[in-house]
Amino acid sequence: MERVERLFYRILASILLPRRQRRLMGGDLMHTFDAVLEDARRVGSRNVTRVYLGELRELFRGAFQLRFGVFRAQRAPQRQFDTITTNTGSNIMEGWLREIRLAVRSMVKRPGFATLAIVTLALGIGANTAIFSVIQGSLLAQLPFADPDRLVWLSDGHEDLSPVGVDQSIPNLMDLRDGSRLSESVAFYTFANANLATEESPDRVRMLMVSSEWLSVLGTPPQIGRDLAPEDDVAGAPRVALLTDEIWRTRFGADPNIVGRDLSIDSEPVSVAGIAPPEFRFPGDPQIIVPLQHVGGDYSRGWRNFNAVGRLAEGAEVDVLSAELQSIFERLVEEYPDQNAGWSTGAMPLRTMMAGRNTQSLFLLAGGVGLVLLIACVNVANLLIVRAENRHRELAVRYAMGARRAELLSHFLAEGLVLSIAGGVLGIAGAYWGVDLLVALYGATLPRADQIGLNGAVMGFALVVSLVVGLVVGLIPLIRLRPDQLQDSLKEGARGASAQGSRLGQILVMAEVALAVLIVAAAGLLTNSLWHMQQVELGVSDIDRVLTFNISLPQAKYADAASINEFYDRLTVEIEPVPGVEAVGLVNRLPLLGGSNLTNFPVYGDPERVSHFVSVRAVSPGYFDAIGVPLLAGRWLNASEFADSAIGSILINETLARELFQGGDPLGQLVGPDWTQGGFLVVGVVGDIMGGNPTRPAPPAYYFPMALGPELFRSVVVKATGDPLSVLPTLRQIVRRMDPEVPIFQVRTLEEIARSRMGMGRFAQSLFGVFAALALLLGAVGIYGVMSFAVSRRAREFGVRLALGASRGSVLLLVLRQGMRLTVPGVFVGVVAALASARLMESILFEVSPLDPLTYVAVALVLGLVSLGASYLPAYQATRLDPITSLREE
């Protein structure tokens, strides 16, 4: 915190003090400032605050003295002996202090007004601070690596799939690394999971497999022990691992002696080489880092399961590196067309990769929350205008008594600043909770969530926003405060300038309505989009009753297919009779998650009829029962097909059937690439299941008996008759009894998977919902304020009308019509602006056009109704006016 305070003083000094001061003395001021604070610190920490505030005051005073002159006697000789501190600067200061005291006093006198204004601003500033802290932590903050702007992320692209972001193969990466001159260094990596066994319990850990340059490319050398060395990276070398700071602290009690000891990873001894530093973090939150051992290892050019991080050579640009890599890659396409045709490669800043695909949603949120703040400002400015209107005479008198325009200016500025600073403080307090709440609710979908918080940068942002808001709010009422008019109004009485006053108020309210339309429209589109996403049939049923968890067998103990199959067969048999369990199944990859697919999957022997990115699912007999997927044609796989690997029968889903056979009968056909040696026999067609991306249709998929491709890792799906978590303890016991070294991990219901799949969409939608509610509320308050002011101004006129026999209904209509005259142009401008900016939202909407007419009609209607409601109350009051009283008032 102290560093922030020092920085603040320093920034303030460089802003306030004239340039000639720095030219003469450089930064010498800071030496003395530091010495003063150091001296104060010896007395005590409370003293530091007092001295710091005093130093700030003296800085202002010194700046005024230098800018307006005191030390040269000829400028103000008559003032020299007044007091020690008398000088022009402190006169201005004291004038300001007086204005601020006055402003505070007048706020205290009218607590209702002040509370409304402060709460309004607090909502705006607090919401902006909270969103800014999310953006700052997720996107803007420097990556915790050395010289992070030179770090890039390499990935492939495929013409049918995505231009970037696809995994790469090791041989391609090695050729790229060796051929590139614009990258200083490159390290490869991939993710895996591993079983880490210690005395207490087996644990599943996230493992990053890297080439040995990994930590040095990122510039984060180990805090303890040694880095990975090239010889660790050779196939067959003794296995070593680095621990991340997080697992070192949580699992090993930050014991430095762990270095050099052996851990059991997947039942094999691995020696701990070192501990990565705390600043090392990477998407996917790896816990241990092991060498890939790719040198001399068995990695084919077509096995795309890797990516790379590189460091740009000094002075090189990402785009140029991308072009260089692509030109190298084009040679690789010619050389290895089988593996590389249709592919491309490139680099992007590592920061972009780590921000993920949520950048746009976050900036959209920032825009939305900025609009909310604008509305809040307009509202408070309106309140101040109304107040100034009521005080017109007072101001006119002050002016006539010789108050200069500058003093009136400082009066309004002081009012604005007092409100905005109070609102800012309240807003920051609110943001403090708000940020915690946001991270708690949506941390999983936010990139780099652990870096989100109210830090110095966020506080600085809140301070600047508060000051700017104070200036805006304070200055708007001044637009219409011209000296000549003030004098006129003194002559005419209070009504002279009111027409113009309300006109400015009207324009502000129209602007407010227009801004509210923008926000409500965005919220409407997002809600619509989310609704469409939720309406999509997931393809699975009773998801709230389906429990899922993962199991991974240690390789050393389960070395052959028979022992793996035996374990999983027995697991199924043991779980089935548990009370409360309706069905149990096993699969290599859970539904609704995507992943595990084949790039090309043709009709056997006919490469022209092909489907791309086909999900590959190995299943046990109970799988479809457990997740509730229907059979659409043909038959289920039978017991002998599950047992005998030679038969090669499979099920395909509806999408794969359509893509391969275009309406023809898939049953009895052979499908699969050449390596299947004879193809798979299609015996049935099952329903589609959605993949991992909520905005994409269900991927094609085929299902084969699990026993054909035994794997150590399996996901278990258990359908319960009631609450799925109630059977979990029994399931844990069963696994522990079967093998205490086998961990259960990632326990989730299918419903949780379905929900997290919505990711950022849900985050953006719910926040925009909140913003829209705020915007409507503030808009309603603004309309109400202006209308009730207008009614009070026209009280005499309404009195006369009523006295002359106008019906109450006609007066009501008159006022309501005036309210609509504010709303309709506002809505019109807002809708035009929303349509013009709608393209910004296109990429995050699902099955909703950003120009969706229904949404816009609904938004216009909602705003119309809200403003009708807001002007009804003043209108009703107008009809209740007693003609006699309102006539007598003048």
Task: Determine the Cα–Cα distance for residues 175 and 178; give it in Å rounded to an integer.
Answer: 5
Question: 51 or 670: whose CB is closer to another protein?
Answer: 51
Q: Indicate whether 2 belongs to the interface with another protein (CB under 8 A).
A: no
Helix/strand/coil for 714: strand
Joined tokens for residue 737? 């009894």
DSSP states of 87-112: SHHHHHHHHHHHHHHHHHHHHHHSHH
Task: For the CB of residue 97, give the shortest distance to another protein in the complex, in Å.
Answer: 16
Question: 86 or 849: whose CB is closer to another protein?
Answer: 86
Q: Indicate whether 87 belongs to the interface with another protein (CB under 8 A).
A: yes
Task: For the CB of residue 84, give the shortest distance to another protein in the complex, in Å.
Answer: 5
Task: For the CB of residue 33, give the shortest distance to another protein in the complex, in Å.
Answer: 5
Task: For the CB of residue 88, give the shortest distance to another protein in the complex, in Å.
Answer: 12
Task: For the CB of residue 41, give the shortest distance to another protein in the complex, in Å.
Answer: 14
Range in contact with another protein (rule: CB under 8 A) among 76-84, 110-118, 452-460, 594-602? 76-84
Question: 75 or 393: whose CB is closer to another protein?
Answer: 75
Joined tokens for residue 827? 């809505």
x/- letters, 53..72, toward another protein (CB under 8 A) = -xx-xxxxxxx-xx---xxx
Task: For the CB of residue 772, give the shortest distance to another protein in the complex, in Å.
Answer: 47
Range in contact with another protein (rule: CB under 8 A) among 77-85, 283-291, 422-430, 551-559? 77-85
Task: Determine the Cα–Cα distance for residues 860 and 774; give it in Å rounded to an integer.
Answer: 17
Question: 96 or 872: whose CB is closer to another protein?
Answer: 96
CB 600 within 8 Å of CB 610 = yes
- Of 83, 257, 535, 677, the one binding another protein by CB under 8 A: 83
Restricted to residues 98-157, the positions that interact with another protein (CB under 8 A) are none
At residue 20, what is the residue type?
R
Q: Which residues lie across from 745 on neighbouring strands?
A: 550
Question: 85 or 142: whose CB is closer to another protein?
Answer: 85
Task: For the CB of residue 70, give the shortest distance to another protein in the complex, in Å.
Answer: 6
Task: Determine the Cα–Cα distance for residues 591 and 699; give it in Å rounded to an integer.
Answer: 11
Best CA proximity match to 125, nearest among 340, 388, 478, 427: 427
Question: 25 or 643: whose CB is closer to another protein?
Answer: 25
Task: For the CB of residue 306, give the shortest distance to another protein in the complex, in Å.
Answer: 51
Task: Determine the Cα–Cα distance for residues 551 and 554; give it in Å rounded to an integer.
Answer: 10
Task: For the CB of residue 9, give the shortest distance to another protein in the complex, in Å.
Answer: 9
Residue carrying the six token digits 């000549």: 484
Question: 20 or 42: whose CB is closer to another protein?
Answer: 20
Task: Determine the Cα–Cα distance for residues 436 and 452; give it in Å rounded to an integer.
Answer: 9
Restricted to residues 716-745, the positions that interact with another protein (CB under 8 A) are none
- Of 2, 82, 147, 319, the one binding another protein by CB under 8 A: 82
What is the bridge-based pairing of β-strands 151-158 and 162-166? antiparallel
CB 319 within 8 Å of CB 227 = no
Task: For the CB of residue 146, give the shortest distance to another protein in the complex, in Å.
Answer: 28
579: Cβ–Cβ under 8 A, 6 or more apart, which residues? none
Give the helix/strand (H/E) hosting 234: none
Task: Determine the Cα–Cα distance for residues 590 and 593; give it in Å rounded to an integer.
Answer: 6
Best CA proximity match to 177, nearest among 401, 414, 375, 345: 345
- Of 15, 73, 108, 639, the one binding another protein by CB under 8 A: 73
Give the helix/strand (H/E) hosting 254: none
Question: 71 or 675: whose CB is closer to another protein?
Answer: 71
Range in contact with another protein (rule: CB under 8 A) among 83-91, 460-468, 552-560, 641-649? 83-91
Q: Indicate whether 77 belongs to the interface with another protein (CB under 8 A).
A: yes
Question: 34 or 330: whose CB is closer to another protein?
Answer: 34
Question: 7 or 556: whose CB is closer to another protein?
Answer: 7
Restricted to residues 10-39, the positions that interact with another protein (CB under 8 A) are 13, 17, 20-21, 24-26, 28-33, 35-36, 39
Task: Determine the Cα–Cα distance for residues 473 and 364; give it in Å rounded to an integer.
Answer: 25
Task: For the CB of residue 477, give the shortest distance to another protein in the complex, in Å.
Answer: 32
Task: Determine the Cα–Cα distance for residues 60 and 48; give it in Å rounded to an integer.
Answer: 18
Q: Indicate whether 828 belongs to the interface with another protein (CB under 8 A).
A: no
Tell me phi and psi for residue 259, to 5 degrees: -65, 130
Please classify residue 20 by burial: count the beta carbons closer than 10 Å to its beta carbon, then call 0-12 exposed, 13-18 middle and 19+ buried: exposed
Task: For the CB of residue 353, give the shortest distance to another protein in the complex, in Å.
Answer: 43
What is the bridge-based pairing of β-strands 288-291 and 670-671? unpaired
CB 343 within 8 Å of CB 158 = yes
Task: For the CB of residue 48, give the shortest distance to another protein in the complex, in Å.
Answer: 14
Question: 77 or 236: whose CB is closer to another protein?
Answer: 77
Q: Which residues lie across from 157 on neighbouring strands?
A: 344
Question: 35 or 444: whose CB is closer to another protein?
Answer: 35
Q: Indicate whether 491 belongs to the interface with another protein (CB under 8 A).
A: no
Restricted to residues 622-641, the positions that interact with another protein (CB under 8 A) are none
CA angle 30, 34, 40 (to 5 degrees): 145
How many residues at the interface with another protein, by CB under 8 A?
A: 39
Best CA proximity match to 392, nearest among 800, 832, 793, 858: 793
Query: Residue numbers of the site for another protein (CB under 8 A)?
Result: 13, 17, 20-21, 24-26, 28-33, 35-36, 39, 54-55, 57-63, 65-66, 70-74, 77, 80-84, 87
